[in-house]
Structure 1
Amino acid sequence: MVKLLKDNEFLKFIKDGDKLLVGGFGMSGTPLTLIDGLAASSKKELTVVSNNLGEVDKGLGKLLNKNILKKAIGSYFTTNRDAVKAWSEGELEIELIPQGTLAEAVRCGGAGIGGFYTKTAVGTKLAEGKEEKVIDGERYILEKGIKGDVSLIKAHKADRIGNLVYDHTGRNFNPVMATASKIVIAEVDEIVENGSLLPTEIVTPHIYVDYIVMSKYVKKGGVFVETV
């Protein structure tokens, strides 16, 4: 069985300077309970790989305001004006990666693939310093696979051995990020008995999941509300 952690017990698996892969797209599929625990900790110099940095003082935005982050790698940081401000003032390093490239880079990291060639970003500033190759007369750049020290992901349900299912668009980046770190911690809304989940609905097999934390949030009227 996968181990169920209490409160902020998961923090012992995160070290200063670690690279964290964090699921979510906007606020959907974001492990808000895990982020809250991290924001209340004394961790520092963390690198976060995520589609965006939440919103102002919401989700990953809380880590930004606590000066826990050293660097952010992702696609849509303009959804949080605090991220743009921190970058412009030299308080946060940002590495921009096109969204599809980000998803594929994490998938490659989890699959043991060193990198891949893509046409996306060829000829732009995002391609500067990257290896370029001509294939069938067209230009491609090499993007390296992304791996993390710890993945913080959000699922809807888990059974007691750690198989995961997701809630609609909450699936987003979470499944690939569950494959690409040394330690995977999943925040879930509900834990069900083994055999309750249909094999066809399981997206992330338990072999990828190390620990589970119960979520303290519920969605009401399209907004995530803390319950305890």
Structure 2
Amino acid sequence: MINKIVSSLTEAVADIRDGATVMIGGFGTAGMPSELIDALIDHGARDLTIINNNAGNGETGLAALLKARRVRKIVCSFPRQADSHHFDALYRAGDIELELVPQGNLAERIRAAGAGIGGFFTPTGYGTLLAEGKETREINGRQYVFETPLHADFALIKALAGDRWGNLVYRKTARNFGPIMAMAAKTAIAQVERIVDLGELDPEAIVTPGIFVQRVVAIGAAAKKEAA
């Protein structure tokens, strides 16, 4: 019987090793798997490469992971904002490596990994520092830069609901990077607000099929109910 539900956040992240590449879903705080990130901090893995849209907000979630100095490198499109002070401090001190990727390129590089595509040409970044050392090509009179896929060992994502097969649905814009990250990682770990019975999710509404998800863990009211 296929059952991808794990009993705790601790169990969900237990095999994330030092030096792993971890994708973390979310657009700012929308869709950020905060509970999984907290479990990763408690777990203690270090020297991580993190792939995320930005570089943390305030003191929680990804920002807390940075503050704990567990991240060696971050790949993101929007590293600086008013409350990204932990990233700013680490970067200015030379204690973290940054790979800056335009947002559209970031999403497509992740999608390419999940789709098994070897790379793609994009006009974004041509003629800038972001194109240095990369192949360029003229196509139909326009200049393009070759970008490679972004793969990961793990993806931590947040969904609204899931079943024991790993099928997931999301809440509105909290969907953002979650579906493509689940496809691009060797092990996708999803935190959900509730776990439902098989067949309860409308097949037409399932965004991430269970084939791309290896672990599901309930948080919030669902987790408290199960714990009781």
Shorter chain as normaliser: what TM range? over 0.9
Q: Secondary structure at the match of 1:179?
A: helix
Q: Give the match for residue 31 of structure 2.
A: 29
CA–CA separation in structure 2 for the residues paired with 1:113 and 1:5: 35
Partner of 2:208: 204
Structural mapping, 1:173-184, within 5 Å: 173-184=177-188
Q: What is the match of residue 148 of structure 1? A: 152
> What is the number of residues matched between the two proteins?
218
Q: Greater share of strand residues, 1 or 2? A: 1
Q: Which AA in structure 2 matches 1:155?
A: A
Contact 1:39 1:66 in 2 (8 A): yes
1:128: which partner in 2?
132
Q: Which moved more, 1:43-52 or 1:208-217?
A: 208-217
Q: By percentage of residues, which structure has more helix?
A: 2
Please report how far the alpha carbon of residue 39 of structure 1 lies from its aligned counterpart in structure 2 after TM superposition.
1.4
Cα displacement string for residues 118-177 of structure 1 (whole angstroms, at most 9, x for unaligned residues) = 000111111111111111111100010110001111100002211100000000000000
Aligned equivalent of 1:18, options 17, 20, 23: 20
CA shift for structure 1 position 41: 2.5
CA distance in 2, matches of 1:154, 1:106: 17
TM-score between the two structures when normalised by the length of structure 2: 0.92
Partner of 1:221: none
Q: How many Å apart are 1:216 and its aligned residue?
A: 4.0
Partner letter of residue 126 of structure 1? L
- CA shift for structure 1 position 36: 0.4
The one-letter code sitting in structure 2 at the alignment partner of 1:34 is L
* Mapping for residues 55-66 of structure 1, pairs under 5 Å: 55-66=57-68
Query: 2: CA distance between counterparts of 1:202 and 1:13?
Result: 27
Q: CA deviation at 1:15?
A: 0.7
What's the counterpart of residue 74 of structure 1? Answer: 76
- The TM-score normalised by the length of structure 1 is 0.92
* Equivalent residue number for residue 110 of structure 1: 114
Give unmatched runs, 5+ long, in structure 1. 219-228
Query: What is the rounded CA distance, in whole Å, between the counterparts of 1:109 and 1:155 in structure 2?
Result: 21
Percent of residue pairs bearing the same amino acid type: 43
How far is 1:10 from its partner? 2.0
Secondary structure of the structure 2 residue equivalent to 1:101: helix
Give the deviation of 1:6 after TM superposition.
1.5
Counterparts of 1:22 and 1:217 in 2: how far apart (Å)? 23
Once the two structures are TM-superposed, the CA of residue 5 in structure 1 deviates from its matched residue by 3.4
- Rounded to whole Å, the distance in 2 between the matches of 1:209 and 1:113 is 20
TM-superposed CA distance for 1:217, in Å, is 8.7
Using the TM superposition, give the Cα deviation of residue 213 of structure 1 relative to its aligned residue in structure 2, in angstroms: 1.4
CA distance in 1, matches of 2:221, 2:69: 24
Write the deviation string for residues 171-200 of structure 1: whole angstroms up to 9, x where unpaired.
000000010111110010000111111111
Partner residue in 1 for 2:105: 101
Structure 1 pair 167–29 and aligned structure 2 pair: CA distance change class (3 A): same
Matched, 1:40 2:42: yes
Give 3-state SS (helix, strand or coil) of 1:63's partner.
helix
| Secondary structure of 2:54's aligned partner | coil
Over 3 Å counting, the alpha-carbon distance change for 1:127 and 1:217 in structure 2 is farther
* Preserved contact between residue 53 and residue 59 of structure 1 (Cα < 8 Å): no
CA distance in 2, matches of 1:63, 1:69: 7
